[in-house]
Amino acid sequence: MNVEGPEKLVNSIRENISQQVEKNVIDYTPHLGMTFESEVAAYDFYNEYSWKCGFGIRREYANKSRKDGVVTSRKFSCCKEGKRGADKRDYLTKHSRAETRTGCEAHMVISLDRNINKYNVVAFVAEHNHPLQPPAYVHMIRSHRHISESQALQIEMADNSGLKPKDFHEFVSKQAGGIDILSYTKKDGKNYLRTKRMQSLRYGEVGALLIYFKRQSENPSFFYDFQMDVEDHITNIFWADAQMINDYEYFGDVVTFDTTYKTNKDYRPLGVFIGLNNHRQTVIFGATLLYDETISSFQWLFQTFLKAMGGENPKIILTDQDVAMGQAISLVMPKIFHRINYSPIQ
């Protein structure tokens, strides 16, 4: 039996496939003179290239025109570019972050050609000084992590149902077949919810609240404050009227703080500082609306609470078992007694 014919056919097919693969690799490899319609298109292309190779990218420097503010050049580098600076934290720190920078010089630089109004690749370095990630782990690199529309909908539905982000993330990780297979991390999910909540608070609601506070502030004993984010949006709010401040002066030795008054997705976590007067009646020392229950938010809240109360610390504070709340208390009021409140004051 003559098998020469079939062998030639198989070899020819293999050669064609090999050539096609090589062609595809070349098509997805940046090269000098390559043009892009926009800076975003260049970033997306280089990010797609880094996905196929097994590394992540980030935006480096950008030069802008003083006349019209248009980006004239931009550098995209490997996520392991550069070196970490000297650690300025306490030398007794036990758990330092692992070093992730290796001084990698792989990068791509684009420059705007005003004649054709497009960006050209003017520099490209492909070599890396570190091992590249296998395909099974590339999706966990920061520039490749993303939350799809369907995943965003699931996160919102879980939040509306009262599921904690940690519990929901563990569930979807098992559903996907493992935490390494999911395209986003637990922190990504929390950040998405935080952004969603901030966007949902309309200007009219904030304006109405501030108008109310300004009217109340005609009384010099009324206190309110709010925290702004980097985009000048109001995040956390605290207020206390004259009666609350006066009650704290007399009955503020023991304070209970709780944030379990959130009733549904349309209301932000409402926290109240409460105590007991000499008739064992509940008195309120202050109230707050929070966007999230993170260490930074609680730290701002407790600092603001003490500011409203003239800097006087309570002797004992009772809270639930929230870890972030406990850490914030240890930072702001390290010398007071912090206890877990298993049976809230009635």
Over residues 16-51, the pLDDT tens digits come to 655 554 544 445 789 998 999 999 999 999 999 999
Supply the pLDDT for residue 212. Answer: 78
> Would you kindly state where each structural domain of the chain is located, as residue ranges?
145-200, 203-340
- pLDDT higher than 80, residue 332: yes
Q: What does the pLDDT read at residue 122? A: 95
H-helix or E-strand containing 188?
helix 186-200
Secondary structure E strands in the chain: 35-36, 57-64, 71-78, 107-113, 118-125, 223-228, 234-240, 254-258, 270-276, 282-289, 316-319, 337-340
Per-residue pLDDT for 262 more than 60?
no
- Does pLDDT of 202 surpass 70? no
pLDDT band at 104 (very low <50, low <70, confident <90, very high): very high
- Label residue 1 by pLDDT band (50, 70, 90): very low
Taking the C-alpha atoms of residue 296 and residue 117, their distance in angstroms, rounded to an integer, is 44
Tokens linked to 199? 């966007």
Do the Cβ atoms of 74 and 59 come closer than 8 Å? yes
pLDDT tens-digit series, residues 63-83: 998 888 899 999 999 999 988
Q: Which of 291, 289, 261 is nearest to 200 (CA)?
A: 291
From the centroid of its chain, how far is CA 264?
23
231-249: pLDDT as tens digits: 566 778 899 999 999 999 9
> What does the pLDDT read at residue 344?
46
Please give the average per-residue pLDDT across 103-126, as a whole number. 94
| Beta strands at 223-228 and 118-125: parallel, antiparallel or unpaired | unpaired
302 vs 258: which has the higher pLDDT: 302
Amino acid at 284: I
| pLDDT-derived band at 264, boundaries 50, 70, 90 | very low
Please tell me the predicted confidence (pLDDT) of residue 20. 53
What's the rounded Cα separation, in Å, for the pair 160 and 221?
Answer: 38
Task: Mean pLDDT check: name the lowest of 18-27, 50-59, 140-149, 223-232.
Answer: 18-27
pLDDT of residue 289: 84
Give percent of the chain with pLDDT exceeding 70.
Answer: 79
Token code pair at residue 156: 């919102």
H helix runs in the chain, sequence order: 4-27, 39-53, 149-160, 165-176, 186-200, 203-216, 242-251, 295-308, 323-332
Which pLDDT does position 274 carry in this prediction? 94
User: Under 8 Å CB-to-CB from 59, ≥6 apart: which residues?
Assistant: 43, 74, 75, 76
> Which is more confident, 202 or 128?
128
Q: With a cut of 90, say whether residue 5 has pLDDT above it.
A: no
What CA–CA distance (Å, rounded) separates 225 from 254?
Answer: 23
Please give the DSSP secondary-structure letter assigned to residue 25: H
Q: Is the pLDDT of residue 345 over 50?
A: no
Confidence of residue 285 (pLDDT cuts 50, 70, 90): very high
More confident residue, 328 or 232: 328
- What is the identity of the amino acid at 285? F
Among 48-62, 159-173, 198-212, top mean pLDDT goes to: 48-62
